[in-house]
Copies of this chain bind each other. A is one copy, B any other.
Amino acid sequence: MDGQGSVQRIGFRNDYSEGAHPRLLQALAQASTEQNAGYGLDRHSARAAQLIRQACAQAQADVHLLVGGTQVNLTAIAAFLRPHQAAIAVDSGHIATHETGAIELTGHKVLTVAAVDGKLSPAQLQPLIDLHASEHMVQPRLVYVSQSTELGTLYSRAELQALSAFCRARGLLLYLDGARLGAALTAEGNDLSLADIAALTDAFYIGGTKNGALLGEALVIVNPALQPDFRHLIKQRGAMLAKGMVLGVQFTALFEDGLFLELAAHANRMALRLRDGLAAAGAQFIVESPTNQQFLALPANMVEALERNYDFQRWHVRADGWIVIRLATSWATRIEHVDALCRDFAALADALSGASG
């Protein structure tokens, strides 16, 4: 029995364990009976792009539907940079850590700054840029942020505005990884709309894979200077689907009547219910996250005990020996599973505290 995805255990491992929402599957079944143009030139992809442009309030933006997050990141960043230019990310940024060096494979260094709650700020960027003033060093050119971040946190409107203004003043591009943008847009306290994000960045993508699609991410290129020939670049990275309608159909279903936000809101609600339940039982969260990823630190025996019935990810081991775990909810998370985990957690906490008491 593998430790991942076992059906016996209740899963909070990630937000891509389940497949697609039924409405997307129905739409795919319907479209499968049609003949559609290939390579994303079909009417579903055109309609999805149009819906997304409207949602972003960017009539001139280019929208490209790609398959996955790493693929979008490497295709876009490599397209936007000249050979000597680098991306900047927080040290916990996805491109800096968990993409097997995909950006470097395209020839570009990823410069990192220490994350504060998963985020970066102009104050951190300035010294890095000052340091890289020589032709013997890479030239910082693109700032990469994630929304929500890899820690589930959010940039506020003020924070993203400050980053955007800083980047524009210094000739830097601002690129936003929205693998979990749905979770961000629907989080408690979020004050950034899709239109805000489009207005403040040069390009960003809207994640479908982690929000109810079988696969698919919608890249929005707002800056016209970054738009030319982008389909060539998609094709040569192996990122252009022959049956591009597979993506167009799903994004149309997600965006034509609010399903995208609805699914994300559900995941967030489940996460907050989980957070509140666990906090009530004494859980220590390492960061305050209003979205569908929750990180908490637990003693090792508590982690082992929980793993008997629940599947989740061990994130890292802290210096004090406690283990940081991630609990992720998704569009498909069931409330009874959340409540079961809260109950079992509380019972275990009691038992273990009694044992050590």
Contacts and interface: CB of A to CB of B under 8 A. Distances in A.
A82 interface: yes
A33 B334 CA distance: 12
Contacts of A157: none
A84 B229 contact: yes
As for how many copies of this chain the complex holds, the number is 4
Contacts of A75: 238
A74 B231 CA distance: 17
17 contacts: A2-B43, A13-B38, A19-B245, A19-B246, A20-B28, A28-B28, A75-B238, A79-B82, A79-B83, A82-B233, A84-B235, A86-B101, A100-B138, A104-B107, A109-B110, A215-B242, A238-B238
A336 interface: no
Given A67-B67, A75-B238, A242-B210, A33 B16 contact: no
Nearest to A247: B215
Contacts of A242: 14, 16, 68-69, 209-210, 215
Interface stretch (A3-11, A159-167, A260-268): A3-11
A231 B133 CA distance: 13
A137 B98 contact: yes
B238 A16 contact: no
Interface string A125-156: 00000000011111100000000000000000
Given A11-B35, A16-B38, A28-B214, 19 more contacts: A2-B41, A5-B37, A13-B38, A16-B243, A19-B29, A20-B28, A25-B29, A67-B67, A70-B240, A78-B83, A82-B233, A100-B135, A101-B109, A102-B236, A104-B109, A105-B108, A214-B243, A215-B243, A238-B238
Interface residues of A, number: 83
Q: Which of A34, A104, A109, A237 has the most CB of B within 10 A?
A: A104
B19 A38 contact: no
A249 to B, nearest CB: 8
A323 to B, nearest CB: 15
A25 B110 CA distance: 40
Given A2-B41, A5-B42, A43-B5, A82 B229 contact: yes
Contacts of A210: 242
Interface string A63-90: 0000111111111001100111010000
A354 interface: no
Interface string A202-238: 0000000110001100000000000001011101111
Nearest to A245: B19
